[in-house]
């Protein structure tokens, strides 16, 4: 037998046997059916490329023993929640999924402008007296990032317990020298799931997309913004990205503190230090439920809450997301709602910073438009805002996009707002974005339609 024939038979045999290495795990791991089918399709079509990718990127939930350890340290259930008989259906559902109920007595301030967001971040940092803890996806080595690090360093020099957690992929461009003064001043820094370590663990695909700052366990900041000039600065020019962040004071801030501790313990291996925490007092009328989602919780609470609320909607479903590649179950809920006359509006950017995602979303928004939903394409600066409103009862704001990565893979954080005034404020933000949008999805050619359909097959893996 010639060498060429031997190689051909060897490659053919490998194409058959290689998928068998991952098939048991693929079928055993609970995923959305579309994600499982996407992996199967890839294994059949490109086994030599997809099998290595599966070992690196297929992790969806942390091993059970590790997950239990992290959940135990979250201590999210130790809060005074709204009595269950007064809670909304979504609130009660999330409690069944082992999350704490909505807490009363909070105040919340929305920041739709990058300058306001920068001022809010600086104010929280400068006001920390005992502890300042921050987790961020992107910390850029630019004017905004350096200013925030400098302010954290100043607090550390005053004896404040400063801890900074950055994601190993989101902040991969951050040079080590940018954090040298913070460390020298006594601040502690940890890297969440460094890329190389994540590759060897098979967890490289699981990123910490949460953005959190907590001062003294009583005041917290979160939302879609990262620490870079694209999102915030002392004076934002017109090209600053369109986004939303918020500051919370009250019991909900304590829950964000516990979410931080969970991520910190996982990344650093250091135990939490709650000695400096101050139990937050009630300081407002807002009912807020903190919903962490991702590999460190046993279910998919954000997805479940959004799906349940969408099926129950009778008036409106307003959704804003820079990346719109939803699960098929959510698509079904929104299609039915639109056909039943519910005011379904989807706001997406005219063009996001991911061309692949834009191609993949095309078939989704076209299907929704055909069912009667309004598709609005935001014009102007990059849209990075993540928010939704369902009827007049619930609003969600935070870090999660409406794509399979945020719903099922990333570590995310969403604040569910149940007070009518807060829901109205989020609606006003969305209406402002809608006012800068163009309605309708333009016609596409046969080639673009074919490309979009193919992208939809692999959308669960994006």
- Of the residues 216, 230, 243, 358, only one is catalytic, namely 216
- 436 is annotated as an active-site residue: no
- Of the residues 113, 374, 391, 436, only one is catalytic, namely 391
Q: For residues 317 and 59, give the distance between their C-alpha atoms in angstroms, rounded to a whole number.
A: 32
Provide CB contacts within 8 A for 379, sequence distance 6+: 350, 436, 437, 438
Q: List Cα–Cα distances, 247 to 128, 253, 383, in angstroms.
A: 14, 9, 20
- 378 is annotated as an active-site residue: no
Tokens 């259930």 label which residue? 77
- 209 is annotated as an active-site residue: yes
- Of the residues 61, 133, 209, 287, only one is catalytic, namely 209
- Of the residues 384, 403, 422, 425, only one is catalytic, namely 384
- Of the residues 71, 133, 211, 425, only one is catalytic, namely 211
Q: For residues 65 and 70, give the distance between their C-alpha atoms in angstroms, rounded to a whole number.
A: 9
- 422 is annotated as an active-site residue: no
- 386 is annotated as an active-site residue: yes
- 211 is annotated as an active-site residue: yes
Let me know if 44 is exposed, middle or buried by CB neighbors in 10 A (0-12, 13-18, 19+). Answer: exposed
Let me know if 295 is exposed, middle or buried by CB neighbors in 10 A (0-12, 13-18, 19+). Answer: buried
> Where in the sequence numbering do the catalytic residues fall?
209, 211, 216, 384, 386, 391
């Amino acid at each position: 037998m010639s060498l060429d024939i031997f190689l051909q038979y060897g490659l053919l045999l490998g194409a058959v046997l290689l998928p068998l290495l991952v098939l048991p795990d693929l079928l055993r791991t609970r995923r959305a059916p579309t994600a499982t089918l996407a992996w199967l399709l890839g294994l059949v079509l490109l086994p030599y490329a997809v099998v290595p990718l599966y070992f690196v990127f297929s992790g969806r939930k942390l091993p059970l023993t590790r997950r239990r350890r992290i959940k135990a340290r979250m201590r999210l259930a130790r809060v005074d929640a709204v009595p269950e008989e007064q809670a909304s259906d979504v609130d009660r559902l999330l409690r069944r999924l082992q999350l704490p109920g909505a807490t009363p007595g909070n105040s919340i301030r929305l920041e739709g402008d990058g300058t306001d967001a920068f001022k809010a971040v600086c104010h929280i940092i400068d006001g920390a007296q005992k502890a300042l803890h921050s987790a961020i996806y992107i910390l850029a080595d630019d004017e905004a990032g350096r200013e925030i690090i400098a302010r954290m360093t100043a607090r550390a020099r005053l004896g404040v317990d400063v801890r900074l957690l950055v994601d190993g992929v989101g902040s991969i461009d951050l040079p080590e020298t940018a954090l040298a003064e913070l460390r020298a001043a006594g601040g502690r820094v940890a890297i969440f799931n460094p890329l190389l370590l994540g590759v060897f663990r098979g967890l490289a695909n699981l990123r910490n997309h949460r953005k959190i700052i907590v001062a003294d366990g009583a005041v917290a900041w979160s939302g879609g913004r990262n620490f870079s000039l694209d999102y915030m600065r002392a004076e934002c020019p017109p090209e600053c990205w369109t986004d939303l962040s918020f500051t919370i004071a009250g019991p909900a801030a304590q829950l964000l503190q516990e979410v931080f501790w969970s991520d910190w313990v996982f990344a650093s291996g250091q135990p939490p230090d709650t000695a400096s925490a101050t139990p937050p007092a009630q300081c407002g009328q807002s009912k807020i439920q903190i919903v962490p989602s991702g590999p460190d919780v046993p279910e998919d609470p954000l997805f479940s809450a959004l799906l349940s609320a969408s099926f129950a909607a009778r008036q409106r479903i307003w959704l804003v997301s820079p990346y719109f590649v939803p699960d098929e179950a959510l698509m079904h809920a929104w299609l039915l709602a639109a056909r039943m006359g519910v005011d379904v509006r989807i706001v997406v950017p005219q063009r996001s910073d991911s061309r692949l995602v834009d191609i993949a979303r095309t078939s989704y928004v076209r299907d929704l438009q055909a069912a009667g939903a309004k598709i609005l394409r935001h014009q102007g600066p990059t849209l990075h805002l993540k928010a939704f409103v369902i009827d007049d009862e619930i609003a969600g704001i935070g870090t999660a996009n409406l794509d399979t990565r945020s719903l099922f893979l990333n570590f995310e954080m969403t604040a569910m707002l149940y007070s009518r005034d807060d829901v109205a404020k989020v609606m006003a933000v969305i209406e402002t974005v809608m006012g800068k949008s163009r309605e309708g999805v333009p016609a596409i050619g046969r080639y673009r339609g074919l490309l979009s359909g193919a992208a939809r097959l692999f959308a669960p893996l994006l």
